[in-house]
Amino acid sequence: MREDWTGSIDLHLDLDPSGGRRAGLERALRDAIRSRRLAPGDVVPSTRALAAELGLARGTVTAAYDQLTAEGYLTAVPGSRTRVAAGPAPGPAAPVPPAAEPSPAAAAHDLLPGRPDASTFPAAAWLRSTRRVLASAPPDVHALGDPRGRPELREALAGYLGRARGVQADPARIVVTSGYAQSLGLLAAVLRDLGTTAFAMEEPGHFFHREIVRRAGLGIVPLPVDERGAHPGPLDRAGAAVLTPAHQYPTGATLRPDRRRAFTAWARQAGATIVEDDYDGEFRYDRQPVGALQGTAPDHVVYGGTASKTLAPAMRLAWLVLPERLVEPFAEAKRLADAHTQSLAQLTLADLIDTHAYDRHVRAARLRYRRRRDLLVATLRERAPHVGVQGIAAGLHALALLPDGGQGEGEIMRRAAFHDLALMPLRDHWQEPDGRPQGLVVGYSTPVGAAYPAALDALCTVLAPV
């Protein structure tokens, strides 16, 4: 292990200024680590020393080190030197790019959908709320609690969801869960036990959610999706339907009023259940957010919300607003699954909502993501005009449709891997992908602010005709 940078190590860093000095430094250091010119455990220079050596601002070097530490390439321990992370380092890129997609942890540029910009987590507001909660929390907060969740959070959610999303939310009908995946899995099992044999699910739709429903032993009835949202035609074979009405995933379509009425009429007539996945309903950019479907049929629609898009996926906080007939069986399923979702985070979120810090954070995030959306659309219009872009009125992603006769998804994904770019192909969202339109589900919320332009540059490079 080499301990001292000065006097014993000379390391050539080939800085490419395209995309910015910080991005160029990050790429050069990643290359040095992957090629083992910097080995696991090696000390890297101080930010002051490297800034002086390369003629960069010290803040640029500090930001690059922070990014590489977050990605797992470096380790930083207070009071000690920053080092290359222990363990096997990634090998150099193969001359022929592999046909596999890069993982987001390893990719230099991450445009995968479904996650917010973690660097904008409202840490200061969360800390203030946590301090208030810890100063006033009753002793029972540290004991096993109600499987439905803390009453403080259910009360706060009832007010917020009614005000911001048009949900008819009685606190007694809200159950807090450890993420939407748990919400859907438990609900599928409850409905199965009550006699449901199949779920209707959007096509294309979220592949992970389909697997959750299948794992509960239920069949899948595809609901075709067009520019008006999901089509209610094939519902006669299903006892429940999972919909994303505000912003269909992945196409971005909004469920039109006539189809909303058709789905709720079916649920009433058939005694069926609609599961409304409102995964990013707060983020609408062309007008006020579309109100929740649940508000028009609260006895037949289960409303599902989450903090994963507004705060962070690691919070593991989600909630269902249930028809009264499903509250007790679902609460029992939650109790048997994991007793209850941890209480301190629930109380902290309740305080954020009650003090309106949550509203302020969502409004700021909406403005920030709209600017990112605008930059994505403008960049693709200028540099990749052959690609069609849709689903941009809301949410945290856009659908980029590939033209017939050009590069297919397979070639795009191989080029993306070669350029260290994480992307999501549309093919994964079809139950039967053969013969379907090809495209990319492009997330624009994940990269930290300084890394976003470089990620868009990599995207345009990958999409360029060959």
The per-residue pLDDT for 53 is: 81
Token pair of 330 as six digits? 């679902």
Tally DSSP H helices, then E strands, for the chain: 13, 16
Type of residue numbered 227: E
So what's the pLDDT on residue 11?
A: 60
Q: What is the pLDDT of residues 237-255, one digit of tens each?
A: 999 999 999 999 999 999 9
pLDDT over threshold 60, residue 263: yes
Provide the whole-model pTM.
Answer: 0.76
Q: Where are the beta strands (DSSP E) in 11-95?
A: 74-75, 83-84
Please compute the mean of the pLDDT values over residues 128-152 and round it to a whole number.
Answer: 92
- Average model confidence (pLDDT) for the chain? 89
Nearest to 183 by CA among 158, 209, 153: 209
CA 123 to CA 215: how far, in whole Å? Answer: 36
Tell me phi and psi for residue 376, to 5 degrees: -60, -50
Res. 261 pLDDT band, cuts 50 70 90: very high
Domain coordinates of the chain in residue numbers?
Answer: 21-92, 110-115+360-463, 123-355
- pLDDT: which is higher, 316 or 104: 316
pLDDT, greater one: 426 or 31 = 426
Q: pLDDT, tens digit, for every residue of 206-238?
A: 999 999 999 999 999 999 999 999 999 889 899
Residue with tokens 């998804």: 409
- Which of these CATH numbers, 3.90.1150.10, 3.40.1440.60, 1.10.540.10, 3.40.50.10260, describes 110-115+360-463? 3.90.1150.10
Taking residues 368-392, what's their average pLDDT?
95
Higher-pLDDT residue of 17 and 155 is 155
Fold classification of 123-355 (topology level): Aspartate Aminotransferase; domain 2 (3.40.640)
What pLDDT score does 138 carry? 86
Q: Are 412 and 386 in contact (CB under 8 A)?
A: no
- d(CA 41, CA 83) in angstroms, rounded, equals 6
pLDDT tens per residue across span 351-365? 999 999 999 999 999
Can you give the pLDDT at residue 10?
54
Q: Percent of the chain having pLDDT more than 70?
A: 92
- Class level of CATH domain 21-92: mainly alpha
Residue 8: pLDDT band by 50, 70, 90 thresholds?
very low
Quick one: average pLDDT of 302-323? 96
pLDDT (tens digit per residue) in 49-93: 888 888 888 888 888 888 888 778 888 877 678 888 875 444 443
Average pLDDT over residues 167-171: 95
Residue 87 has what pLDDT?
Answer: 58
Region 257-261: mean pLDDT is: 96
In this prediction, residue 122 carries a pLDDT of 95
